[in-house]
Structure 1
Amino acid sequence: MSGKNTSPDADVVISRTHREEWTRIVAGLVRRYGDLDIAEETAAEAFVTAVERWPVDGVPPNPGAWITTTAHRKALDRLRREAKRADKQKEALLMQDDSPAEPVGIIDDDRLRLIFTCCHPVLSIEARVALTLRMVGGLTVSEIARAFLVQETTMGQRISRAKARIRAARVPFRLPEREDVPLRIDGVLAVLYLIFNEGYFASGTDVEPIRRDLTDEAIRLARLVRALLPPGSREDAEASGLLALMLLTQARAGARLSVDGTLVRLDEQDRTSWDRSLIEEGIALLDEREGRRPADDGPGRYQILAAINAVHVSARHARDTDWGRIVALYNKLEHLDPNPIVRLNRAIAISEYDSPEVALALVEDLGSALDGHHAFHATRAELLRLTGRLAAARGAYDRAIELAVNSAETAHLVRRRGEIASTGSKSITIDDNGGIS
């Protein structure tokens, strides 16, 4: 076993390698073989091989390189098996060249090119987001289905059709020309936002509640995307808003969990532990754009969300939060993007600014749209608690716990339900990622 690490924690290394290396491995496979199916399936097969061999042979010194090499070999084997003509066989053999690929496009970054490939206009916005979350974010089909509030089978079919459409349209694996980037940017920003949110509020009981690999990668890619856009353009403004939103949110990650892994409410967080450098950078991005905006050019979705977060970080104490300003910003956001989640978060802000009774009436109207969403039931539980309807609040907590997919959130909800017999006097606040806590 020379050169091997015989640590019994092979499963831990495999999980960490999957989190940290999946996107890079898949992107490299797509660049070399030009096929999303081959890239995804052979990468997955390589990890399965690691699960079988590493506990026996030991963990290799460079796990990511081992997975990459194994995936390339599996891809070549698959191409050889599928080759029907001599020229196809020759093409597969030529792919054994391991020399570095020449830079392609404006920025030489495989992962950024993979995002733009998955976000090609031949796909609907929904398909672009779902495919990129799978290929770039490494999320499972079930995790993506939960984000879209659809059945897992439905999401699996959507992703399969999207890959087939990319293949049929012969979409090239490269960044678009600079002048074409603005036409593709909306889907790209939506994907980066969802990847960041998955990292900041990770789904699944067997993963860390906060996945810094995903949040860091989303921020890195957001910086690269912003560099592609014409300064001062609408697209640049939204990319800047998204980057600011990520930075202002990431700044509070260190205060978000207690020592026992329970979610810490925004109003209970130690604000001295927030990362001031990230906060300053995020606010500077917003201020820079605000100074450039024409009078008739209103802020976009990500700029408004970033502005809401900026209000929170500007308050020295939770009691100093300008809830009137937050409600006004949510009014703008609802006008721009009147989806149920926005309306839910607006109701939470109204509870703080006006009263829980007013907010509860607004939340009850969202039941048909958000019954399968844990945040709806958690919000409803808090509002019922504040208005003295403790039995109903307990039932709403039960439903929220049943639907929650984040271990820290589940622990938080269990604690809140356990406190219900003592007092309902505590207010609710908007969590750092826009949800309730």
Structure 2
Amino acid sequence: MDARLRERNIEEYWPVIGEEVDEIKKLAEPLKGMKVLHVNATAYGGGVAEILHNLVPLMRSVGLDARWRVLEAPDEFFNVTKKFHNTLQGADIEITEEEWDLYERVCQENTKLIQDEEILVIHDPQPAAVRKYLDLNDRKWLWRCHIDLSTPNMTVWKRFFRYLEGYDKLIFHLEEYFPEGWKEKSVAFPPSIDPLSEKNSDLDEDFIKTTLERLEIDPKRPLITVVARFDPWKDLFSAIDVYRIVKEEISDVQLAIVSAMATDDPEGWFFYEKVLRYAGVDEDIKFCTNLKGVGNKEVNAIQRATTVALHTAIREGFGLVISEALYKKVPVVARPVGGVKIQVKHGENGYLAWEKEKLAEYVIRLIKDENLRKKMGENGKRTVVENFIITVHLKNYLKTFLNLLG
């Protein structure tokens, strides 16, 4: 199905990037009218859908005929592709022949999504095999991988990579994710946040206040916020442990666990219940999800009220939530995994550590030192504007398209 697209104009970004707007328009001129299609697994929930909601309209605003379509698939398909997601990040899980067959069958059925587009950007493992069933060698095919492929389960990878052989380019967040033997075909550039989106634009104080009241968050007390899907790789149990260590020293601290239940992640409900049980009856742990009416604007409000952002993932393709917090001048304490370590500069806009005790130590330091928080907050916003906003992302796509077309 076609995803709904909003209107967006590149000129709106003048207050953020200034004359770079003209550079982007000039870069896009040779691509005007070019039909570009993005295909992914879901129109809602998770970083990929969020990026496409903002990126596709921006591509249209500079003259590309950009479109976005979403896979049509049964729930069982997403159970299988979640296994792909986990095994390609290194998990030791078996995928049966029946599951491989289901995956291929659904991808073959979804070849109807491809019409007369000239450049095709297929996102993540879910729709990757669509290419296998289309003899369209006159088109340009890109596979955009949003996960950490640095140490995959080799049994699964040796079979999965066959679906990628027909692609002209593979795009990863970092060079360290390039699969062995695929360097020549691969390109690396990070994803982005949109400073003008509902999730990142300025909010009036009344909305922030009302949102906090509804979620029973006290604005006068320190707030640690974790924004992450209910997923084993995010290790929300460690986030709760860090909070509990901090609470021993700062008794009035609160923890907000902010998440959206994505339609392509049935495993999420299972982990949601496990994390809920682990949190127990502590009233200072607030679960802020779409089940409670928490959408992008509410996430924005919570982040703006946050004292310190925390991220305890043990694997992370990139972690857009890091850039979201930094853009709002909130320092981040996180584990140095994947794309997190290129966003958080240790000692400049936050801190990096593996051990829960060390993470808690940094959180305590930031809660206690307001001047340090402000300094790191300013540094954080600068980092994002220079590297991780949507206009930088758009430029990288335009350059890749131009390179593909010679």
- Give TM-score scaled by structure 1 length: 0.24
Task: Report the structure, 1 or 2, having the larger helix content.
Answer: 1
- Give TM-score scaled by structure 2 length: 0.26
Structure with max Cα Rg: 1
Higher relative contact order, structure no. (Cα contacts within 8 Å, ≥ 6 residues apart): 2
